[in-house]
Amino acid sequence: MAQDKRDNNSLQMSAQRRSFSVRTMEIEDLAEVYQLGAMNFKADLWPMLYRSWDEYEVTTLFNTDGDYCLVAENDDWVSGSKDQRIVGFVLGTVISKPGSAWSYGYVLWLCSHDDWAREGVAGKLVDKLVEIMVEEDGIRIIMADTDPDNHRAVRFFAKKGFTDTKPHLYLSSNLEHNPHYAPLLKKSRAAAQTAERKKKKKRRDAPARLSSMGTDEKKRLKKKKLKKRKKKKKKSGKV
């Protein structure tokens, strides 16, 4: 249903052609790219995309594969307006196998804004990505994957000549109901409960323990606590 609505929307928008430019992703684009992805990779439509899309995906690829992270920017965007600035993005990578002269390009994430559907945003992004990968890495094969029910993406890639398709199964299991791993989950929960119970008991007994302590013992305890706190702060980089 949601997909149908989007399809109608994209058909209506197809009459319009607006101007956008493709360029390498910059640090100030990261938040918008993440948000645009979060708007599109939805749990109800594409659970696998939804599960693996997060801020770290964007920042990690920006650090490791910055040359293959591209955005499409609305040329008519004005600061302060409600219009989208970033109207699409593609994040890719190149896989080079040791001992093989072949390098493979991979389209990891591709997305265009719903309001800019079918205006050539994704097409231009993928064209530029492949151009970079061919020129800089000499790739001979470009790969992409998507859910077979994601017909917009399937049609998009088919139109771009990605015609060598292989079915691929994504497997998942709710560990709670998995006979192999449910005991692990149970064990881990029991350990967490025991730790919580111990913590509560320690908190409950603390006043009695403190009142029975001598001054020296109290001083030692305070010192120990301070040391522990300092160590924790140092570990988290606050000191």
Ligand X SMILES: CC(C)(COP(=O)(O)OP(=O)(O)OC[C@H]1O[C@@H](n2cnc3c(N)ncnc32)[C@H](O)[C@@H]1OP(=O)(O)O)[C@@H](O)C(=O)NCCC(=O)NCCS
The C-alpha torsion from 60 through 66 and 68 to 73, rounded to 10°, is: 100
- Applying CB under 6 A, which of residues 68, 109, 142, 162 lies at the interface with ligand X? 109
Runs of H (alpha helix) within the chain: 2-13, 30-40, 47-52, 55-64, 121-137, 151-159, 182-211, 215-235
Return the structure tokens found at 42.
Answer: 């939805």
- The span of 105-113, 186-194, 202-210, 223-231 binding ligand X (CB under 6 A) equals 105-113
Secondary structure letter of residue 144 according to DSSP? E
Distance CA 208, CA 141 (A): 71
Of the pair 16, 173, the CB lying nearest ligand X is at 16
Nearest distance, CB of residue 128 and ligand X, angstroms: 12
- The footprint of ligand X on residues 135-154 (CB under 6 A) is 146, 150, 152-153
- Applying CB under 6 A, which of residues 59, 93, 120, 185 lies at the interface with ligand X? 120
Nearest distance, CB of residue 221 and ligand X, angstroms: 55
Q: By CB under 6 A, is residue 47 in contact with ligand X? A: no
- CA distance readout (Å), 17 to 57, 106, 120, 123: 31, 28, 9, 14
Of the pair 50, 59, the CB lying nearest ligand X is at 50
Of the pair 117, 139, the CB lying nearest ligand X is at 117
Q: By CB under 6 A, is residue 121 in contact with ligand X? A: yes
Q: By CB under 6 A, is residue 93 in contact with ligand X? A: no
Tell me the torsion sign for CA atoms 127, 130, 132, 138.
negative
Nearest distance, CB of residue 88 and ligand X, angstroms: 6
The residue count for binding ligand X (CB under 6 A) is 22
- Applying CB under 6 A, which of residues 69, 70, 111, 142 lies at the interface with ligand X? 111
Helix (H, G, I), strand (E, B) or coil at 224: helix
- Applying CB under 6 A, which of residues 7, 57, 67, 115 lies at the interface with ligand X? 7
Nearest distance, CB of residue 207 and ligand X, angstroms: 57
Distance CA 93, CA 59 (A): 14
How far, rounded to the nearest angstrom, does the alpha carbon of residue 181 sit from its chain's CA centroid? Answer: 26
Instruction: Report the DSSP beta bridge partners of residue 60.
Output: none
What does the binding site for ligand X look like in residue numbers (CB under 6 A)? 7, 10, 40, 88, 109-112, 117-123, 146, 150, 152-153, 155-156, 159
